[in-house]
A and B are shown apart, each in its own frame.
Chain A
Amino acid sequence: MIEQHLSLLLVVIPLIAAPVTAMLPGRRLPWLFTLSVTWVCLLLASWQLSVVMNGSVISYELGGWAPPWGIEYRIDAMNALVAFIVAAIAAVTLPYALRSVEKEIPEYQTSLFYAAILLCLVGLLGIVQTGDVFNLFVFLEISSLSSYVLIAMGKQRRALTAAYQYLIMGTIGATFLLIGIGLIYAETGTLNMLDLNQRLQPIMEHRTVHTGFAFIVVGIALKLALFPLHLWLPNAYTYSPSVISVFLAATATKVAVYIMLRMVFTVFSSSLVVLTSYMFLVLGIVGVILPSISAIFQTDAKRLLAYSSIAQISYMVLGMGFASVLGLTATLVHVFNHALMKGALFMAIGAIVYRVGSSRLENFQGLGRQMPWTFSAILIAGLSLIGIPGTAGFISKWYLVLAALEQQSWLITGVILLGSLLAVIYVWKIVEIMFFRPVPETVIEVREAPASLLIPTWVLVSANLFFGFNTELTVDVAGTAVRLLGVTAP
């Protein structure tokens, strides 16, 4: 009974829970409720993943309407993997949220804050689950609107500007997506992804279809912060509350990568891929190098990580640019692994913010000795970000390099390795300040972060190590997903 409705429940449960949370009083109760909802979601998402892992597909008809007319939820390995990432990050972030939110959000906003988190979760999970492009747009708006709210709740007043900036840009992106969807709807008269795929084949030459494709790709590129459309991201990640930095950094752009894959490879299939390939490769190359250099110049740890995120997203974009089985596998694996490492890093920085009250690097001096567990978390997750063997980051870099070598593309291989070197520099920058600088004398004693912040951080850190050795989940599922995408290139 539950298994039949699994894919719907994953969206409906947080959707119903959100208004309930908004009405709960106090600090603890909304948190506890949200926590249990996210854990139920994680349970459902892992169940769903285990069902489709072997390559089978769940097709769920909403309200009993048959697919091309009604909304269809269509789950294959790729949806399930991304849904699992989103649900898992939410489930790990929530235990972390309690103490951090107490410090950063005023009490009267707490329940609304958690409600907004749940709405954001609904949006992200909905995007992943649905097989209908208009439905996808709706969920994208739900997640975007709630994330504007969440970012605006940051303690500094600059959070408002950051949220406003993101609002403007995000809306432009969403509008582009909507225009694109409108154009292809006008051409085909359908919104179902698979149906679109069928109907678009004969009319692929039409200019309208091409224009629609261009609008859709550019709109999504904005949401995934493809360089140079990344300008909203550094501010949004820097000034939002710590919990939101963790959650958004680990999920939002990953879901956008998913939309891009779906749209380019499922809806439009391969005939238009050539067009995007060049763009992805060129912007990916520039997007690995310049944001990495920008990251080196940052003076704020969160902002540094935000720029590093843009660079890491560019790796995923490079993988898409190859449009080969290996390349897309690398993209999906990196989606998963990057969620782990950035989640861990933002959590650790959040733990420092909890104790020190600032994420500016100048306040980090000598903290490595006072907060050894937080420091080692940053160190290990940082190594994973660089791509040291034995960490999850290595696996994705490895596949990406293999994909580049397969295409005989020495330039891109070099770019990937150069990106790793630049990552060494900016990770080392944090490590150096935390560990090798003496504590300024004016600073009073800082204690290690509380366990409720450390445990979730270390869960993600150990996941970084675990998935550095065990690649059954990541690589195999990603491989299955790519096979189902129907990529024809080797």
Chain B
Amino acid sequence: MWMSELPPFIPFFIAALLALFTRGWVRGLIVLATPVLGGLHLWLDVEPGINQTVSILEYELSVMRTDRLSLLFGYLFHIAAFIAAVFALHVRDTTQYVSALLYAGSALGAVFAGDLITLFIFWELLALTSVFLVWARRSERAIRSGIRYLIFQVGSGVLLLAGALVHYQQTGSLAFDFIGLEGLSGWLIFIAFGIKCAFPLLHNWLTDAYPEATPTGTVYLSAFTTKVAVYALARGFPGTELLVYIGAIMTCFPIFYAVIENDLRRVLAYSMINQIGFMVCGVGIGTALALNGAVSHAFNDVLFKGLLFMTMGAVLYRTGNMNGSDLGGLYKTMPKTAMLCIVGASSISAFPLFSGFVSKSMVMTAMIEEGYDYLWLMLLFASAGVFHHAGIKIPYFAFFAHDSGIRTKEAPLNMLIAMSIAAVLCVFIGSQPQYLYSLLPWEVDYWPYDTTHVLAQLQLLFFSALAFVWLNKQGLYPPELHSINIDAEWFYRTLLPAGARRIADSVQVTGRDLTDAAIRSFKQGGKSLSDTRLGRFHLAINWPTGSMVLWITIILGFFLLADVVL
């Protein structure tokens, strides 16, 4: 179709430019055709082993490096971009179209980047283009949340650049291959990846910004940023043992927050961290099976998490509300959406025959094979927790529970189509995993459907469901309340502003005292200081000509003196 070296981000960027100037069905066609044609091109024409370089400065930037790992993510992102585009087809907002296309393109650019500088460029582009999907909600909250998001993301980019430079200084190479946690560069890059990957304490941007984005924007957001980070970890840090522990914590801690959270999209955001935790564990274990598990779980997560975000997006679109306490009983008016939501929920809970099962079990098996028994138990607990907050809570509070009395319409056709595509893929991959397995980067010798696996998983799920039912009946389940829960964000959303205010106050008081004292002493000396300039930056004002003559003298004097001394 095209030349096979064409970097896949280029069609998206061109499409973004076209989307800027077109309207109506023409634009819809562009947005749909780009991922389809790009994906087909990638599927049919592009083989592993391409390395296309462009020279900028005296560096060879590798803008298109393909192997099985990057290709798999390439396919995935095309599918995700297509589904999200179908879902967003009713939108009239040019900002969202353009930034979504640029965002998807940047994700592809990052995945096919063969060196750290190219990766950095797309890493920053991911941040800059995606923030508009948050801002497009155009509410005060969304704007503030978007700024916090941007600070985190750009911070991650700066760390990546710093790491890349140090790496270059030390090794003389910019190639993006195995990096490892050695030396300053390794750590800098690791933390940069970690921010995008939502490591614990670095995760707040995710739970903060994703629920504030537009209904369609969140679908895009959930597909790309964190998956690029998982890809980057899988390439740069496979087998780093620290990741196993980080991943295990990531799977567990969001559960508690997700259970008490009222905003259902924020619940999904927490459950996203939980799912990424499984992938991070897989990368950390580093065996072929574990890495395959991590990658395929990323693949599945994009589909089922996208599906869940889409169903919630549809609910938000129709009702304008996302709080578990205000929704309920929507199955009467949105039955199809409810069904699709249950498919997504089953997938994320890893029911056998749904997609989550075939990938999550790979990570779990790899974990027990490598002897991480306690961590395996943590993951098991996390799996039960997922079922709780994502598998039951989401559909239960949105579509069933007490009837909120909201009567609305079924989701628009394009949304239903998008959700159905994702749902079909979830079931297809879950029941016919061999097709996904054949795409995986490493040799697969694994089959999830044996008795132990299926039985263990079913037991887990049924007892977990039992716990939910029992807790609910006893009234012990945390009620859905109107509230804003903040976790580690407390440090910079509460402590920091309060501290800064206090410091500013004290500085102001001291400054005023000093000024008063200065004025008094001047007055006592028989002079008056009409204008105290402490409130302004001293260097920013006009200086008299004479002061510069003084400076010239000083510098010349130094020069001549230095000459004598040296």
Interface residues in chain A, defined as those with a beta carbon under 8 Å from any beta carbon in chain B: 165, 168-169, 172, 176, 207, 210-211, 214-215, 217-218, 221-222, 228-229, 231-232, 234-235, 274-275, 278-279, 290-291, 293-298, 307, 389-390, 395, 398-399, 401-402, 405, 417, 469, 471, 475
Q: Is the Cβ of B552 less than 8 Å from the Cβ of A222? A: yes
Min CB gap A291→B, angstroms: 7
- B477 interface contact, C-beta 8 A: no
Q: Can you give 17 A-B contacts (C-beta < 8 A)?
A: A210-B560, A211-B563, A214-B556, A215-B556, A228-B551, A229-B551, A229-B552, A229-B555, A231-B543, A231-B545, A231-B547, A275-B563, A279-B558, A293-B537, A294-B537, A297-B540, A469-B56
CB contact list, B97-139 vs A, under 8 A: 120-121, 124
Q: Is the Cβ of B539 less than 8 Å from the Cβ of A279? A: no
Cross-interface CB contact of A405 among B158, B165, B547, cutoff 8 Å: B165
Cross-interface CB contact of B548 among A169, A217, A402, A469, cutoff 8 Å: A169
3 A-B pairs with the lowest CB-CB distances in the bound complex, closest first: A214-B559, A294-B540, A297-B540
Contact with A along B527-548 (1 / 0, CB 8 A): 0000000001101101101011
Q: What residues of chain B lie closer than 8 Å to A215, measured between beta carbons?
A: 556
Q: What residues of chain B lie closer than 8 Å to A232, measured between beta carbons?
A: 548
Q: Looking across the interface, which residue of chain A has its beta carbon closest to that of B537?
A: A297
Q: Is the Cβ of B545 less than 8 Å from the Cβ of A297? A: no
Q: What residues of chain B lie closer than 8 Å to A278, measured between beta carbons?
A: 562
Q: Is the Cβ of B562 less than 8 Å from the Cβ of A231? A: no
Q: Is the Cβ of A389 less than 8 Å from the Cβ of B121? A: yes
Q: Is the Cβ of B563 less than 8 Å from the Cβ of A218? A: no
Q: What residues of chain B lie closer than 8 Å to A307, measured between beta carbons?
A: 540
Known A229-B555, A275-B559, A389-B120; contact A293-B539, beta-carbon cutoff 8 A: yes
Cross-interface CB contact of A389 among B124, B165, B542, B562, cutoff 8 Å: B124
Q: What residues of chain A lie closer than 8 Å to B549, measured between beta carbons?
A: 169, 172
Min CB gap B166→A, angstroms: 8
Q: What residues of chain B lie closer than 8 Å to A165, measured between beta carbons?
A: 545
Q: Is the Cβ of B545 less than 8 Å from the Cβ of A471? A: no
Contact residues of B: prevailing secondary structure = helix
Q: Is the Cβ of B555 less than 8 Å from the Cβ of A290? A: no
Complex Cα–Cα for A287 and B542 (A):
17
Q: What residues of chain B lie closer than 8 Å to A169, measured between beta carbons?
A: 545, 548-549
Q: What residues of chain B lie closer than 8 Å to A211, measured between beta carbons?
A: 560, 563
- B566 interface contact, C-beta 8 A: yes
Known A169-B545, A231-B545, A294-B539; contact A279-B552, beta-carbon cutoff 8 A: no
Q: Is the Cβ of B556 less than 8 Å from the Cβ of A231? A: no
Min CB gap A368→B, angstroms: 15
CB contact list, B44-87 vs A, under 8 A: 56-58
Complex Cα–Cα for A210 and B551 (A):
20
Interface footprint category on B: 20 to 34
Min CB gap A468→B, angstroms: 9
Q: Is the Cβ of A290 less than 8 Å from the Cβ of B57? A: no
Q: What residues of chain A lie closer than 8 Å to B545, measured between beta carbons?
A: 165, 168-169, 231
Q: What residues of chain A lie closer than 8 Å to B124, measured between beta carbons?
A: 389
Cross-interface CB contact of A228 among B58, B540, B548, cutoff 8 Å: B548
Min CB gap A105→B, angstroms: 25
Known A169-B548, A229-B548, A297-B537; contact A218-B57, beta-carbon cutoff 8 A: no
Count, A-B residue pairs, CB within 8 A: 82
Q: What residues of chain A lie closer than 8 Å to B547, measured between beta carbons?
A: 231
- B169 interface contact, C-beta 8 A: yes
Q: Looking across the interface, which residue of chain B has its beta carbon closest to that of A304?
A: B540
Min CB gap A330→B, angstroms: 12
Q: Is the Cβ of A218 less than 8 Å from the Cβ of B121? A: no
Q: Is the Cβ of A405 less than 8 Å from the Cβ of B537? A: no
Q: Is the Cβ of B563 less than 8 Å from the Cβ of A390? A: no
- Of A207, A231, A390, A405, most buried by chain B (CB within 10 Å of CB) is A231
Q: Looking across the interface, which residue of chain B has its beta carbon closest to that of A303?
A: B540
Q: What residues of chain A lie closer than 8 Å to B556, measured between beta carbons?
A: 176, 214-215, 218
Complex Cα–Cα for A197 and B558 (A):
25
Known A172-B549, A228-B548; contact A390-B536, beta-carbon cutoff 8 A: no
Known A169-B548, A221-B555; contact A291-B539, beta-carbon cutoff 8 A: yes
Contact with A along B164-184 (1 / 0, CB 8 A): 010001000000000000000
Contact residues of A: prevailing secondary structure = helix
Q: Is the Cβ of A218 less than 8 Å from the Cβ of B539? A: no
Additional A-B contacts beyond A210-B563, A298-B540 (7; CB < 8 A): A214-B556, A215-B556, A229-B555, A274-B566, A279-B555, A390-B121, A471-B57
Complex Cα–Cα for A402 and B543 (A):
35
Q: Looking across the interface, which residue of chain B has its beta carbon closest to that of A278?
A: B562
Q: Is the Cβ of B57 less than 8 Å from the Cβ of A217? A: no
Q: What residues of chain B lie closer than 8 Å to A291, measured between beta carbons?
A: 539
Min CB gap B113→A, angstroms: 13
Q: What residues of chain B lie closer than 8 Å to A389, measured between beta carbons?
A: 120-121, 124
Contact with A along B405-437 (1 / 0, CB 8 A): 000000000000000000000000000000000
Q: What residues of chain A lie closer than 8 Å to B539, measured between beta carbons?
A: 290-291, 293-294
Complex Cα–Cα for A222 and B556 (A):
11
Q: Is the Cβ of A214 less than 8 Å from the Cβ of B551? A: no
Complex Cα–Cα for A402 and B57 (A):
12
CB contact list, B498-521 vs A, under 8 A: none
Min CB gap A483→B, angstroms: 14
Complex Cα–Cα for A294 and B537 (A):
7
Q: Looking across the interface, which residue of chain B has its beta carbon closest to that of A468?
A: B56
Min CB gap B508→A, angstroms: 17
Complex Cα–Cα for A210 and B566 (A):
11
Min CB gap B124→A, angstroms: 7
Q: What residues of chain A lie closer than 8 Å to B158, measured between beta carbons?
A: 417
Complex Cα–Cα for A275 and B563 (A):
8
Complex Cα–Cα for A399 and B540 (A):
29
Complex Cα–Cα for A290 and B559 (A):
22
- Of B120, B551, B566, most buried by chain A (CB within 10 Å of CB) is B551
Q: Is the Cβ of A218 less than 8 Å from the Cβ of B540? A: no
Q: Looking across the interface, which residue of chain B has its beta carbon closest to that of A476?
A: B58
Q: What residues of chain B lie closer than 8 Å to A172, measured between beta carbons?
A: 549, 552
Q: What residues of chain B lie closer than 8 Å to A222, measured between beta carbons?
A: 548, 552
Q: Is the Cβ of B57 less than 8 Å from the Cβ of A398? A: yes
Q: Looking across the interface, which residue of chain A has its beta carbon closest to that of B117?
A: A389
Min CB gap B388→A, angstroms: 43
Q: What residues of chain B lie closer than 8 Å to A417, measured between beta carbons?
A: 158
Q: Is the Cβ of A218 less than 8 Å from the Cβ of B555? A: yes
Complex Cα–Cα for A296 and B558 (A):
31
Q: What residues of chain B lie closer than 8 Å to A234, measured between beta carbons?
A: 542
Complex Cα–Cα for A211 and B563 (A):
8
Complex Cα–Cα for A234 and B560 (A):
29
Q: Is the Cβ of A275 less than 8 Å from the Cβ of B540? A: no
Cross-interface CB contact of A471 among B56, B120, B121, B543, cutoff 8 Å: B56
Q: Looking across the interface, which residue of chain A has its beta carbon closest to that of B55?
A: A471
Q: What residues of chain A lie closer than 8 Å to B558, measured between beta carbons?
A: 279
